[in-house]
Structure 1
């Protein structure tokens, strides 16, 4: 990558070439405290050395030194940070913010920005700069689904992203700005406009980490990547940040109890579904029990009276049927009615008043369903959670662990060991569990901050919960919750995060529901969820009372199996990812393409052949509707899909 660097009296200016991107007016803000004195300073980034491939900038404060080194590497710019405590006292480090006073891509007017949410359930989509990004007015919703340390401002043209973002236009080029290894921090890349000028902040969040005297720490890298093709730019970024732990090749297919039984699951229902599988001579890879077996959240080994025989016999039965038994647990939270909460208040993170840190509210657990964040650095809690995992895996026989609500380990608060960042506390929790469970156990992260989970989970939930309804209208409009769990918003994240698959982990898009009764989803909506799961090629679980499925549903499962086997080993590209909230064209290099109508009305769908589409589809191509077994007409410059009903979709084979 070519760059042009200039050093003025007060600012650094970097221009990347081919394609052109400009970064001007670099500043550093550092926020820390020492001996009860709070320090918050901003200064221009002082350049101490400029070379052909390297720029060195050093900031000297009375108590610390910050070194920022930019290197021009093949295909990208890497920014490396080192922080050195020069004092003789402990330093409490809050944030380091790198500000870009002016960001621009020449010959670009209608910029779009891609926001990646903080954790599994967080909103992820693209915006234009004349839009607003909103947060819920309910604090418990923001704790549960977003990052209270980096909430949206609600102002027009202001967007907060975590781990990575992208800015640009299909008419010119794009720049991806993203966090690199070792993922020991949470990094926010925030973009906002002022007088039509785009400003950027790269925020390293140390979350009041204690830095001891003379200690030197390396903060996570920042990458700058430019490309005229946004999908290629994202591929480049995910290749740079890919998991260094070998990923499992085999895709996971399973059954989950949650979206039919919810917390009303019981032993009888579990055995009933196993009997249905046996009668049909069918099996999945994983058969997973979800929430509802425990007496209280946090008391994982205390099984309620709905499971009089306990969990071990169920796990044995599942294994005799050739499947892996799976179990749900939320290892880093406990409800206030749990024995753990009542007997071990010191095992929790605490706020400035000494109270346990609130991790959210869940009415599934009771109307006063508040729960609290556990401290993964506390030695006694560490022994407790290791004992829980040992029992589940080695005594009861579970080989698949769905770890839920894990963001709680990263909530800010006073921990037993404050020398770790909030991200490191989550990584420590994962390590405790993996060390006991072993490498053969499949670990799924859910409600999980993305960056800190890389290399620690085998699969990752990449969106909010699906639901047996399309849109959570009351929750969305009354609470102003942009993450509101519903099938529509689950699909939004499934498509927007599809390129992470097999780079960072196996994508888990959440479950599909095939039942035609006891659901508010229309046939078109059920098939749109199925098509989204197929074309993106991730894991897939079915969550139905299996006795409700008809013969046609079992045949559909066989077809889904065959299609996902092909798409899972290939790459998926949301062609219009930067142009709309919910991409409507997804191409899979296995030779499939899906088209969606997410509007609330029927549409005559005409797709123009441009950009990536022009490369993969020609006028001589044939598009065969997979489910309708009809040919879609391809013309010299467009595709005529005919009329699509509301929330409908078409999955096509390219020939």
Structure 2
């Protein structure tokens, strides 16, 4: 293969911007991607090399440290144009890798918090990130609205894959790879597709039929191409580019949450009081008491409570503060019940379909079934003022942490007041309205919603599907039958946390979702807390302290650690088995090293060779405190669905020198 790591972007008649692996090692060729701009009717309004058309395109690049590409569209015609998408796509079948697919991995970023993400060998097809035997197209719209972006595909064919915003290809035998995609996340949603069987690739910016007026211009989110010898480091390098471009906020918290403590949407004020009082009597890292779904009169009526909270949310915020904790509260800012006061008073505020009817944006599960909701149109100034006003009122009452959920309402497909806005822009406008109400010193934690687009507005990002809904379980019966990777369960939660840990403490503080109390087998509970505490820096606890104590021993040192965990075998296997995270204990440098077995069988796992790159004094089993012999020829026998966590005490610089 002559062109090592080649990727060209054709705008005019020739490949004006070309990227090649500077090391000359990477055995893959992504070919020339030709720029096409499509209108809402599917017509081509700009094509690379064509002289005529109503759209002009300006492209520039910056190659200081990596390749970055900037694209601006301009309407040079006399009439408005509705733009559907902008695509850099293959004109021939030149995309190829050197060698067999078994030696290569790809990274897949899911669109939503609950969408499975991570690296896997190319031999693992995309549908392993979804469901077995269930076509994506038969899922109800109310489900797909909450989890995926339009046109998502989960191919059964190895080597044919897609990823939201960006992707990466990595040769883990030669230890070299390429990462490519969009690192801007504010102007539109984006997707990368590669089909090695057809020899094609594409990068797409979705403009959602947004209107471009005559003489007006639209910038796309910028593109990045980078190369590296370590997949985890490439992902962190990408995260740093996203963080810098979008001005990331990172503020971790330690939270007790009513939802995962078993109360769900039937929570009572006494449940909050009792657990708060119990926590105040013990040593724990918890600093926030977070009231979740179940207090409100109706979805969308966040300042009005039901009969289980007769004194309202302001009184509860004061009680939480007086008990020595920070108050946190759950809302779904862009969702309104068809029966609620917001929709009844302002039916013109919701997103509608082409027939003028309100879009059924999704549903929130509760103990008595799903609760449907409509979506607020965040391009309407009065809607944004309403959203900001809610959070200003809650801040005035004393609430400091805001868990915001079901955020896909703000980017749902439909007709909005401002036709010039993409769905991504409508989403960012709504999120900014929340931030304007919360203020710069308030904390925002997200639940269900699109993932990377939150960078720069929020402080804490959930990394994964829920730990559980109902009784905690490693996998539900449905997940075992279908291979489902998107619904609540410890297997789904922990695997996606591992796949997204590279964002932690770079784009935001990662929330690995709740570490729950009784309900899991002891081995599964250790696996859950090990992965959760290593992959994120925010702690969420779900436990009813009236029923049993909770063991917080060992949490302090892990919570003090900062930065992503290193996934040592990322891409080599579907479910990684080795995590490393640097930290300190009593000012002494340590490394936490986790060995994981997510399978249902006992396995013997050899110690990672990375453990021996730097000298160390000793190794302890972190959860039981016993000293462990760690040699290159050691293997650890792990039972089904289990983990071991070791603390490696690094040698001092003087000892290492000697």
Give me the TM-score of the superposition, normalised by structure 1: 0.88
Alpha-carbon deviations, 1:46-90, whole Å to 9, x = none? Answer: 4xxxxxxxxxxxx6542101233344331x211211111111111
Residue 40 of structure 1 is aligned with which of 38, 41, 44?
44
Partner of 1:200: 201
Is residue 575–residue 585 contact of structure 1 (8 Å, CA) maintained in 2? yes
Structure 1 residue 338 displacement after superposition? 2.1
Could you tell me whether the CA contact under 8 Å between 1:283 and 1:321 is conserved in 2? no
Residues 1:99 and 2:102 are matched in the alignment: no
> Greater CA deviation, 154-163 or 205-214?
154-163
CA deviations on 1:431-456 (whole Å, 9 max, x unpaired) are 11211221111011221222321100
Contact in 1 for aligned 2:250/2:506 (Cα 8 Å): no
The 3 A distance-change label for structure 1 pair 40 and 477 is farther
1:189 maps to what in 2? 192
User: 1:116 — aligned with what?
Assistant: 109
| Residues 1:180 and 2:183 are matched in the alignment | yes
Distance 2:51 2:462 in 1: 42
Matches within 5 A, 1:584-599: 584-590=577-583, 591-599=591-599
1:562: which partner in 2? 557
2:8/2:19 contact within 8 Å kept: yes
Where 2:635 maps in the other structure, the secondary structure is strand
Contact in 2 for aligned 1:3/1:14 (Cα 8 Å): yes
Aligned counterpart, 2:456? 455
The secondary structure found in structure 2 opposite 1:355 is coil
Q: 1:613 to 1:183 in 2, by over 3 A?
A: farther
Q: Answer yes or no: is 1:379 the counterpart of 2:381.
A: yes
Matched-pair contact (CA < 8 Å) for 1:14–1:22: no
1:133 CA displacement = 2.2
From 502, 507, 511, give the equivalent of 2:510.
Answer: 507
8 A Cα contact 1:596 1:650, kept in partner: yes
Q: What is the deviation of 1:537?
A: 4.1
Match of 1:25 in 2: 32
Do 1:32 and 1:93's aligned partners in 2 also have CA atoms closer than 8 Å? yes
Q: Per-residue CA shift, 1:137-184, capped at 9, x if unaligned? A: 322322222223434345443222112211122112111113123621
Select the residue among 501, 512, 516 that pairs with 1:498.
Answer: 501
Q: Aligned pair in 2 of structure 1 residues 250, 442: CA closer, same or farther (>3 Å)?
A: closer
1:634 aligns with 2:638: no
Aligned to 2:424: 423
Distance 1:477 1:348, change over 3 A: farther
After superposition, residues 190-229 of structure 1 pair within 5 angstroms as 190-194=193-197, 197=199, 199-229=200-230
Mapped partners of 1:312, 1:60: distance in 2: 63
Do residues 400 (structure 1) and 401 (structure 2) align? yes
CA deviation after TM superposition for structure 1 residue 5, in Å: 9.1
1:601 matches 2:601: yes
Does the residue aligned with 2:193 lie in a helix, a strand or coil?
strand
Give the aligned partner of residue 51 of structure 1: none
CA change 1:38–1:25 in 2 (3 A) is closer
Contact 1:169 1:578 in 2 (8 A): no
Cα offsets for 1:462-508 (capped at 9, x unmatched): 11100143344344367774311111111011111111111111111
**Whole-Å Cα distance in 2 between the matches of residues 608 and 501 of structure 1?**
23
Distance 1:301 1:365, change over 3 A: farther
Normalising by structure 2, report the TM-score. 0.88
Match of 2:621 in 1: 625
Query: Structure 1 residues 103, 15: CA separation in 2 closer, same or farther (over 3 Å shift)?
Result: farther
C-alpha RMSD of the superposition: 2.6
Partner of 1:56: none
The answer (yes or no) to whether the contact 1:121–1:464 under 8 Å persists in 2 is yes
Give the Cα–Cα distance (whole angstroms) in 2 for the partners of residues 81 and 376 of structure 1.
Answer: 26
Does 2:643 correspond to 1:649? Answer: yes
How far apart are the structure 2 equivalents of 1:244 and 1:175? Answer: 20
Q: Indicate if the aligned counterparts of 1:576 and 1:583 stay in contact, CA closer than 8 A.
A: yes
Give the deviation of 1:263 after TM superposition: 0.7
1:251 aligned partner? 252
Q: Which residue of 1 aligns with 2:613?
A: 615
* d(CA) in 1 for partners of 2:245, 2:70: 20
Residue 287 of structure 1 deviates from its aligned partner by: 0.6
SS at match of 1:242: helix
Counterparts of 1:7 and 1:436, CA distance in 2 = 42
Deviation of 1:512 after TM superposition, in Å, equals 0.7
Partner of 2:21: 16
- Measure the CA separation in 2 of the matches of 1:201 and 1:570: 32
Instruction: Tell which deviates more after alignment, 262-271 or 176-185.
Output: 176-185
Between the aligned partners of 2:285 and 2:596, the Cα distance in structure 1 is: 31
Counterpart in 1 of 2:541? 542
1:85 aligns with 2:75: yes
The alpha-carbon deviation at position 281 of structure 1 amounts to 6.4
Per-residue displacement from partner, 1:87-111 (whole Å, max 9, x unpaired)?
1111111101111443345566432
On the 8 A contact 1:326/1:401 being kept in 2, the answer is yes
Check conservation: 2:264, 2:367, Cα contact below 8 A. no
Distance verdict in 2 for CA 1:92–1:339, change over 3 Å: same
Q: What corresponds to 1:412 in structure 2?
A: 413
Quick one: structure 1 residues 613 and 98, their matched pair in 2 at CA, closer, same or farther if it must change by over 3 Å? farther
In the other structure, the counterpart of 2:55 is 64
Q: How far off its partner does 1:370 sit?
A: 2.2
SS in 2 for 1:594: strand
Number of residue pairs the alignment of both structures matches: 618
From 571, 586, 593, give the equivalent of 1:578.
Answer: 571
Conservation of the 8 A alpha-carbon contact between 1:475 and 1:484: no
**Per-residue deviation, residues 255-294 of structure 1 (Å, max 9, x unmatched):** 1000111011011111111221233365722110000001
